[in-house]
Amino acid sequence: MSATETTVELGPFIAGKAEPLGDSVQEIRDPATQRVVGRVAAATAEDVDRAVRAAQDAFADWSARGVAERGDIVGRAARALRAGVDVLAPVLTAEQGKPLREARIELDKAAETLEHYAGLAKELRGAFVLGLDPGVSGQVLRRPLGVVGAIVPWNFPTTLLANKLGPALVAGNTVVAKPADTTPLTTLRAAAIMHDAGVPAGVFNVVAGPGRETGEALVTHPLVRKVAFTGSTPTGQRIMSLAADGPKRLTLELGGSDPLIILEDADLARAASAASMGRFFNCGQACLAVKRLYVAESVADEVAEAVVQKASRLTVGRGTEKGVQLGPLHSERQRDLLEDQLRRTLEQGGDVLTGGGRPAADELSGGWFHEPTIVFEPPHDSPMATEEVFGPVLPIWRVRDLDEAIERANASPFGLGSSVWTSDLDAAAEAAERLECGYTWINSPTKVYDELPFGGVKASGFGKEHGSEAFDYYTDQKAVVIRRRTREQQ
């Protein structure tokens, strides 16, 4: 089954069953061609209520199972997902637009994250404190929260869900997920695959539909104890205000404008590769994409030339075509937004070194394509520096030294990640201390490791995904005081 032949029809996945489409149907279109590739039910508030109740009903049994058993089931689900990559990757490409190779990478990574948490199951433990007072000890029990609402965007529908699903399920919670209204197909399919692999009915449910209706019905449902959200900062702020009514636990993984700093003693070729890969993977639509490049002035022209070479050689095309490295932007809205940011920037200043518009090829005119683009020295108060730019446009600035680079990097409202390339260990260590963000890569491509906590500061949100730290966000730590009779009392 190739992506171009796929037309999937799916209702919500509730209590282990794929339900019929119903009356409120939403079409899913391929961003490369605008062809309809699927139809899904837009879940109503009643559908959300049924899904949350199914998750609540499943909670007692799921949370009472041994943690090793839950880990084992999540591990089986992960292996089933991995075995399903050949079926799921074309569906992901069809609804999201990314090249097939990147769709496979994404799905493998989602399975890897679930496997990671399956493996961590036996590490999930609380604490025991002896001697609080004579004859008094304390326990810290980790208890699951209950029903978790997981809301994810369209850029990485499966990995961003797996980041939530892994720790939530292993810790004993049940989940209702809401994918973006333009990318529900892979998630609905994955839920069925994972159920068939042994995830009990009601433990993982999926409702598709628009954020304002389906998403808000989930966030405000009284039985939802925690909302784990990835998406834009304004939506995160809206969810935060809605969650105040609970009040509910929240993890907000919001936007980013990650800087990459290259000092003059860096390995320039590897640094330029990291900048290019970090910017153009997934057509630049990643929260942790490299969105600002600051280069020491003595090597700035050399680095700019290397990055331009890489950008201009990328093969732009439909994700289903062999050899394509850059697919379309996900939607018309995303392309309009990007073009507007580029136009407003260039009105203020800056030189386009390559790209700058839509590709000329006729066969790409039906999709939301944009050329890989490099802009040299736009003003520091232009949208390239002050807004999140979610597409294949990389601005480059010259900086005098590390101090200026850090000052510029920290001037952003966002604080998700950052990168530093240098052979000076002291400079690297100083940068890691001073950069205001949740993750710093030193001489490394921007790869996220399951072993390390990931999450932002400032307008990039709060809370951690990945790492054993993620369990803190899906458990409550309950204190228990145990007093034994002292000798005098016996």
Site string for ligand NDP, 28-67 (x = CB under 6 A): ----------------------------------------
Active site residue 253: yes
Which of 212, 400, 447, 483 forms a contact with ligand NDP (CB under 6 A)? 212
Which of 29, 70, 109, 178 forms a contact with ligand NDP (CB under 6 A)? 178
**Token pair recorded at residue 151:** 């809301």
354-380 per-residue burial string, b: 16 or more CB within 10 A, e: under 16: bbbebbeeeebeebbbbbbbbbbbbbe
Pick 268 or 459: Cβ nearer ligand NDP: 459
Q: Which of 106, 115, 216, 253 is catalytic?
A: 253
Interaction between residue 255 and ligand NDP (CB under 6 A)? yes
| DSSP bridge partners of 397 | 294
Are the C-beta atoms of 261 and 396 separated by less than 8 Å?
Answer: no
Pick 152 or 224: Cβ nearer ligand NDP: 152
Restricting to residues 264-293, name those near ligand NDP by CB under 6 A: 287
Interaction between residue 466 and ligand NDP (CB under 6 A)? no
d(CA 444, CA 112): 20
Interaction between residue 210 and ligand NDP (CB under 6 A)? yes
Please state whether the peptide bond connecting residue 184 to the residue before it is cis, i.e. omega within 30 degrees of 0.
no
Active site residue 287: yes
**What type of residue sits at position 408?**
R
Site string for ligand NDP, 329-368 (x = CB under 6 A): -----x--x-------------------------------
Are the C-beta atoms of 205 and 176 separated by less than 8 Å?
Answer: yes
Phi-psi map region of 242: left, alpha, beta (phi>0 left; psi -120 to 50 alpha): alpha
Neighbours of 16 (CB within 10 A): 18
Among the listed ranges 112-120, 211-219, 275-283, 401-409, the one in contact with ligand NDP (CB under 6 A) is 211-219
Are the C-beta atoms of 290 and 419 separated by less than 8 Å?
Answer: yes
Which of 219, 260, 290, 296 forms a contact with ligand NDP (CB under 6 A)? 219
Q: Measured from the CB of residue 250, what is the shortest distance to ligand NDP in angstroms?
A: 12
457-470 per-residue burial string, b: 16 or more CB within 10 A, e: under 16: ebbbbbbbbbbbeb
Q: Which residues are marked as active site? A: 253, 287
Q: Applying CB under 6 A, which residues contact ligand NDP?
A: 151-155, 178, 180-181, 210-212, 215-216, 219, 230-232, 235, 238-239, 254-256, 287, 334, 337, 388, 390
